[in-house]
Structure 1
Amino acid sequence: MQGFRLNGSRVLEIDLMGDAVRAATGSMIAYTGDVTFKNAGMGGGDGLMAGLKRRAAGESVALMHCTGQGTVWFAKDAMEVLIVELNGDTLKVESEQLLALSDKLKTDVAFAGVRGASSGQGLFTTTVTGYGTVALLSAGGPPIALEVSPQYPLVVDPDAFVASQGQLNQSFVTDVSWRNLIGESSGEAFSLRFDGSGVVYIQPEER
């Protein structure tokens, strides 16, 4: 069983005891013990069909398998790290914000709706489902967890979105007047709206 913990705010430390985790390719910065690393494959460790689905969707995730006995330290671009526990629920996350996850968790691709053509994020998002731990990345500072309730829906900038968890419905708001105030009125400006009950994680720096 892995032990996920933070070493400071920008380094993830994981203990391996004969089991495995998956982590972003190239994110290992140090390790002790007898640990091996190998490419998780085009499906991110979830098989060929998952890889083909990702390729068709254009939502890529480059992961490596880390197995053995020892301790491994992970980091990426000096970004802040957030640890999230899943208890049979689903986390929707931007693939580039995924640092590591328990190997028993399943990843997939979900249709996210029709987004504005000016965004480079595509039409799909990565989902992580099951029981285990996920480590997320946040650029520009510590991640911010925002509660969503039926009484208080949430609208966020898609370039600040990291992940969402809970019983949430995601939609797109295309009438975004605030972009006009900062000189970004060209293209199809939009924001993400979340209704329901859950948590949305954002970062203080736009992609």
Structure 2
Amino acid sequence: MQGFRLNGSRVLEVDLTGQPVRAVTGSMVAYTGDVQFKSAGMGGGDGLVAGLKRRATGESVAFMTCSGRGTVWFAKDAMEVLLVELAGDTLRVESEQLLALSDSLRTDVAFAGMRGASSGQGLFTTTVTGHGTCALLSSGGPPVALEVSPQFPLVVDPQAFVASRGQLNQTFVTDVSWRNLVGESSGEAFSLRFDGSGVVYIQPEER
């Protein structure tokens, strides 16, 4: 089993006791003990089919497998780190917001819907499923967890979206008004709307 914990708010510390952990390639900043690092391959440790799906959809992330016995510290661009425990449920996350995950967790690519009827552009998201710990990244400060209930749907700027979990239905809402207010009127502006019951994680800084 791995012991995931935060060392401050921007560094992930993981104890390896024989079971591997997967982390974003290049995110290791220090380690002690007998630890080996190798590429998780095209599928990121989830097989060739998963790798082909990521490459086809553009929802790709390069993982390395860290194995052995020791302690490893991970960080990326001084971003804040959030630990999410999964107990058989599914987390939907932007691929660039992933830092590390238990090797028992599995990732895949899921269709997230159409970005507006006029553009006809399909969008995809990374899913993380199983039992274990997932470390996420947040730019601009600590991530914010927002509750969603049937009575109170949530609308989020897609540039601030990090991840979501629970029984949520995600749709795209075309809404140019909020972009026009800040002078960003070029292109098709849209928001993410979440209905149902669950949690949506956002970051203070837009991508």
Could you state the TM-score of these two structures normalised by the residue count of structure 2? Answer: 0.96
CA contact (8 A) 1:43 1:49 kept: yes
> For residues 44 and 95 of structure 1, what CA distance do their matches in structure 2 show?
12
- Secondary structure at the residue paired with 1:33? strand
* Closer, same or farther: CA 41–63 of 1 in aligned 2, 3 Å: same
CA contact (8 A) 1:90 1:127 kept: yes
> For residues 103 and 38 of structure 1, what CA distance do their matches in structure 2 show?
14
Q: CA deviation at 1:176?
A: 3.4
CA contact (8 A) 2:84 2:133 kept: yes
Residues matched between the structures, number: 205
Could you state the TM-score of these two structures normalised by the residue count of structure 1? Answer: 0.96
- Post-superposition CA distance 1:54-81 (Å, at most 9, x none): 1111111111000000000000000000
Task: Please report the RMSD computed on the Cα atoms of aligned residues, expressed in angstroms.
Answer: 1.5
CA contact (8 A) 1:12 1:81 kept: yes
Match of 1:155 in 2: 155
* Structure 1 gap ranges (5+): none
Q: Does 1:63 align with 2:63?
A: yes
- Post-superposition CA distance 1:123-180 (Å, at most 9, x none): 1100000000000000000000000000000000000000001000000010231111
- Post-superposition CA distance 1:9-46 (Å, at most 9, x none): 00000000011000010000000000000001111110
Paired residues for 1:8-157 under 5 Å: 8-115=8-115, 123-157=123-157
Q: CA deviation at 1:94?
A: 0.3
> For residues 206 and 116 of structure 1, what CA distance do their matches in structure 2 show?
21
> For residues 34 and 154 of structure 1, what CA distance do their matches in structure 2 show?
46
* Structure 2 gap ranges (5+): none
> For residues 83 and 175 of structure 1, what CA distance do their matches in structure 2 show?
32
Match of 2:169 in 1: 169
> For residues 49 and 96 of structure 2, what CA distance do their matches in structure 1 show?
21
- Secondary structure at the residue paired with 1:201? strand
Tell me the percent identity.
86
CA contact (8 A) 2:80 2:141 kept: yes
> For residues 122 and 112 of structure 2, what CA distance do their matches in structure 1 show?
9
